[in-house]
Amino acid sequence: MIFMQQRFTEADIPILAGKTAIVTGANSGLGFEIAKTLANRGARVVLACRDESKAKTAADEIRKGNPSADVMVRSLDLASLASIDTYVAQFLTAETKLDLLINNAGLMAIDESRTVDGFEMQLGVNHLGHFALTAMLMPVLLSTPQSRVVSMSSSAHRKGKMDFDDLMFERRPYSRWSAYAQSKLANLLFILELNRRLGASSQTKALAAHPGVANTNLGQNAGGIIGFGFRISAPLIAHSALKGAMPALRAASDPDAKGGQFYGPRYMMVGSPVVETPSLQARNLEDAQRLWKISEELTGKHLL
């Protein structure tokens, strides 16, 4: 039962000295807390962010609290396949191992827009950009013992539907919340298929997490009645960004975590992290395989 799972706190994260981690979107919110916590536990952490100036400020803040923190900043725009190519080339030139890839960066309920490569922005950044990044880093992940890939989803995936006939909202009217939910469902389908392809004997694990309702700036620009309600209610029920980061941190570091697991807050939206069961649509292997094939075609990246 979910309520019988052992409580997991920051103190339960093992010492990570000698480990190398990439955290996307690490300049603020959940990503910042993930990067800071990993660094405080001894990991070498790369802050992979679109806004390099904000990322440098975040790195300075981490070092201010922990002068021995091993953190560095690298520019990464997940809305551009060319930027991902450049980022990975630079990383592989400087590093020989990768223990943790935390696919955290994301957009929530934004106005309709397109990535550099023409993808609907939320699917492009939240899923396709991370798919391409993971594909290009998979060789170094596979060569690093006990490595992990952790993707940040959302409880909104439960409202998601993969419209394979119109993934980019080219024919149907754009809905910011439907696009967001679809992208977060895509995150879980990606982990489902990645875990299957890795297989039970692989030293590399693929896991997912969601933060519940965390006090971050994500979704603050969401429009419409739902967006207004979210901005009003979230501060009243949200837990801190650190607590929101704990499900991903548990997925990344708990020695007992198993490939394919999905972590979220104990009480759905708040609380310490526990293993959750994703929605039925997030466990649809046929959809996962279909999305995988489409993702390879769209990005030109082939993974496993």
What is the helix, strand, coil percentage profile of the chain, to 5? 45, 15, 40
Nearest to 121, CA basis, from 49, 174, 185, 193:
174
DSSP 279: P
Q: Tokens 């469902």 — which residue? A: 185
Q: Is the pLDDT of residue 259 over 60?
A: yes
When pLDDT is cut at 50, 70 and 90, the band that residue 218 belongs to is low
The sheet that has 148-152: what strands, in order across it?
70-75, 44-49, 20-24, 100-103, 148-152, 205-209, 262-265, 273-276
pLDDT more than 70, % of the chain: 89
For 137-166, the pLDDT digits (tens) are 999 999 999 999 999 999 999 999 999 999
Q: What is the pLDDT of residue 266?
A: 87
Q: What is the pLDDT of residue 191?
A: 98
Tell me whether strands 44-49 and 20-24 are parallel, antiparallel or unpaired: parallel
pTM exceeds 0.95, yes or no: no
Instruction: Please report, for the chain, the start and end positions of each structural domain, with discontinuous segments joined by +.
Output: 2-299
Average the pLDDT over 50-57 and give the result: 97
Q: What is the pLDDT of residue 1?
A: 39
Q: Which residues pair with 121 in a beta bridge?
A: none
Least confident of 16-30, 202-216, 239-253: 202-216
Q: What is the pLDDT of residue 303?
A: 94
Q: What is the pLDDT of residue 269?
A: 74
Output phi, psi for 256, to 5 deg: -90, 0
* Sequence letter at residue 228: F
Average the pLDDT over 2-24 and give the result: 87
Q: What string of H, E and C letters represents the secondary structure of 49-77? A: ECCHHHHHHHHHHHHHHCCCCEEEEEECC
For residue 34, CA distances in Å to 10, 44, 139, 216, 226 come to 11, 12, 24, 13, 28
Output phi, psi for 44, to 5 deg: -85, 120
Nearest to 273, CA basis, from 234, 225, 233, 239:
239
Q: What is the pLDDT of residue 217?
A: 66
Average the pLDDT over 25-35 and give the result: 97
Catalytic positions: 180
- Give the SS3 label for residue 4: helix
Rounded to whole angstroms, the Cα distance separating 277 from 48 reads 29
Q: Is the pLDDT of residue 283 over 70?
A: yes
For 103-112, the pLDDT digits (tens) are 999 999 999 9
**Domain 2-299 belongs in CATH node 1.10.1740.10:** no
Give every CB contact of residue 203 below 8 A, 6+ residues apart in sequence. 142, 145, 146, 147
Q: Is the pLDDT of residue 297 over 90?
A: yes
Least confident of 31-45, 54-68, 204-218, 286-300: 204-218
Q: What is the pLDDT of residue 2?
A: 45
What beta strand segments (E) does 127-284 contain? 148-152, 205-209, 262-265, 273-276
Q: Find the length of the chain.
A: 304
Rounded to whole angstroms, the Cα distance separating 167 from 78 reads 18
Q: Is the pLDDT of residue 175 over 50?
A: yes
Average the pLDDT over 17-27 and give the result: 98
